[in-house]
Amino acid sequence: MITIISADGRAEQEQLSAMRARAAASNAEIELAVRAILEDVRENGWEAVRRYSEKFDGREPYELEPEDLERACAACDPALIAAMEHAAANIRDYNEKLLARTVEWRSPDGGVVGRVVRGLTRVGIYVPGGTAAYPSSVLMNAVPAKVAGVEEIVMVTPPTEHLSAAVLAAAKIAGVDRVIAVGGAQAVAALTYGAGFIPRVDKLVGPGNAYVAAAKRLAYGTLDIDMVAGPSEVLVIADETAEAKFVAADLLSQAEHDRLASAVLLTTSMELARAVDGELERQTAALSRQEIIRASVRDYGAAIVCPDLARAAELANEIAPEHLEIVTARPRELLPAIQNAGAVFLGAWSPEPLGDYLAGPDHVLPTSGTARFFSPLSVDSFLKTMSVVEFDRASLAPLAGEIITLAETEGLTAHANSIRVRFENGKEDS
């Protein structure tokens, strides 16, 4: 079921090239259509949003009332509510421990410098409809924003006939302030520019289809976004001590997301690679998304047999996966060698779905190799900082000559003058 490759410096690189190609694919027609929607909403506001919503979703946008969220909670299985509350508590605890604080100190030159930390004013969360309506994503996006002190969280979701009760309950649990039934590129445009009762936001987070992803990418710069997410991916580094059925199950947990999802095993054991291949076949037969899984594993899955764990770590850093599991005899010993990954799971009892739902760290992670320079969503994603400078005459005076020298070297005489006038005639300008 899975292609087994012996690493020889060439075969594994061909596999990596295929993974990169899948992530790099783009649709020019989608981008052209989305660009037109964004421009229309920017110019025509609510009327354009209403028109696109009726065209694509069959009804105009509307805002839900707090009572709608209460009813959604009541309609959910109490076990689901308890699980979501547990998840929210763990996400909250994790992000509270990461929360940056305002700090000031006395500089070597005698002035006061520092950094003021503020939460963003308003954040939008996009939640897909249909089968991709995941309440866990609501928690993962909204709870860190709440911890950051974001003043208003606005969730948007397509106005389907029956909105997901689990998604609405998650919004209630996470502390979402407003829920608006609007979807697609028009929702992104409305949150980017403001349209009628849909407010402009400072940042937009959350997954979506190709049109939503394209809209977020084009809107970036007018607002901030979390990232442009690519297909899901998991990479497992395992040695001969790993349990094949565990490894196979974890590979399948990502392959079921999407035909473009990537599930790769790096192992030092050919015997394990073959055993995992057999387990993939056996376990897939009992799963609900067999067609998607088989396409994903066939096209973008691989078991690469490496000469040693050091080579496996090198390949992992080159791939920079969204999820990286280290299932070896001593997994923590390999952690210092890992430079690029969205999230790292150590040991056989730390499977990737633990991170997706309940561990606390966010499951919104960089994909398609962008873990080389992007980080997971967290409370930091919803903060902005302002630097603070406070000097008095005594602390500025010794620096005046050097500031004037630097400013005049750059031809910025008004900068130099701003300093010089303060010390004319040896006294402050009142």
Regarding whether 255 and 220 lie in a shared domain, the answer is no
Regarding whether 182 and 88 lie in a shared domain, the answer is yes
- Token pair, residue 164, equals 């997901």
Look at residues 197, 142, 207, 139 and name the one whose alpha carbon lies nearest to residue 356. 139
Number of domains forming the structure of the chain: 3
- Whole-number Å distance between alpha carbons of 254 and 297: 10
pLDDT tens digits for range 259-269: 999 999 999 99
Regarding whether 69 and 119 lie in a shared domain, the answer is yes
pLDDT tens digits for range 57-106: 999 999 999 999 999 999 999 999 999 999 999 999 999 999 999 999 99
Mean pLDDT of the chain, nearest integer: 95
Residue-level pLDDT at 427: 56
Regarding whether 282 and 185 lie in a shared domain, the answer is no
Regarding whether 399 and 296 lie in a shared domain, the answer is no
Q: Annotated catalytic residue: which of 323, 325, 352, 363?
A: 323
Q: Can you tell me the mean pLDDT for 384-391? A: 98
pLDDT tens digits for range 11-39: 888 888 877 777 665 588 999 999 999 99
| Residue where a domain terminates, one of 194, 225, 256 | 225
| Residue where a domain terminates, one of 174, 190, 225 | 225
Residue-level pLDDT at 270: 98
Angle, in degrees to the nearest 10, between helices 28-44 and 210-219: 60
Regarding whether 49 and 196 lie in a shared domain, the answer is yes
Q: Annotated catalytic residue: which of 12, 233, 322, 325?
A: 322
Tokens 């473009």 belong to residue:
260
Q: Can you tell me the mean pLDDT for 343-349? A: 98
Any domain includes 39: no
Regarding whether 196 and 117 lie in a shared domain, the answer is yes
Regarding whether 297 and 243 lie in a shared domain, the answer is yes
pLDDT tens digits for range 274-326: 999 999 999 999 999 999 999 999 999 999 999 999 999 999 999 999 999 99
For the chain, how many helices (H) and strands (E)? 18, 15
Regarding whether 253 and 206 lie in a shared domain, the answer is no
pLDDT tens digits for range 174-230: 999 999 999 999 999 999 999 999 999 999 999 999 999 999 999 999 999 999 888
CA dihedral 153, 94, 168, 342 (to 10 degrees): 90
| Residue where a domain terminates, one of 170, 190, 225 | 225
Q: Can you tell me the mean pLDDT for 234-253? A: 98
Regarding whether 316 and 183 lie in a shared domain, the answer is no
Is residue 323 flagged as an active site residue?
yes
Any domain includes 245: yes
Any domain includes 35: no
Any domain includes 382: no
Regarding whether 192 and 50 lie in a shared domain, the answer is yes
Q: What is the CATH number of the domain that holds 127?
A: 3.40.50.1980
C-beta atoms surrounding 210 within 10 Å: 13
Question: What is the residue range of 49's domain?
Answer: 45-225
Regarding whether 252 and 207 lie in a shared domain, the answer is no
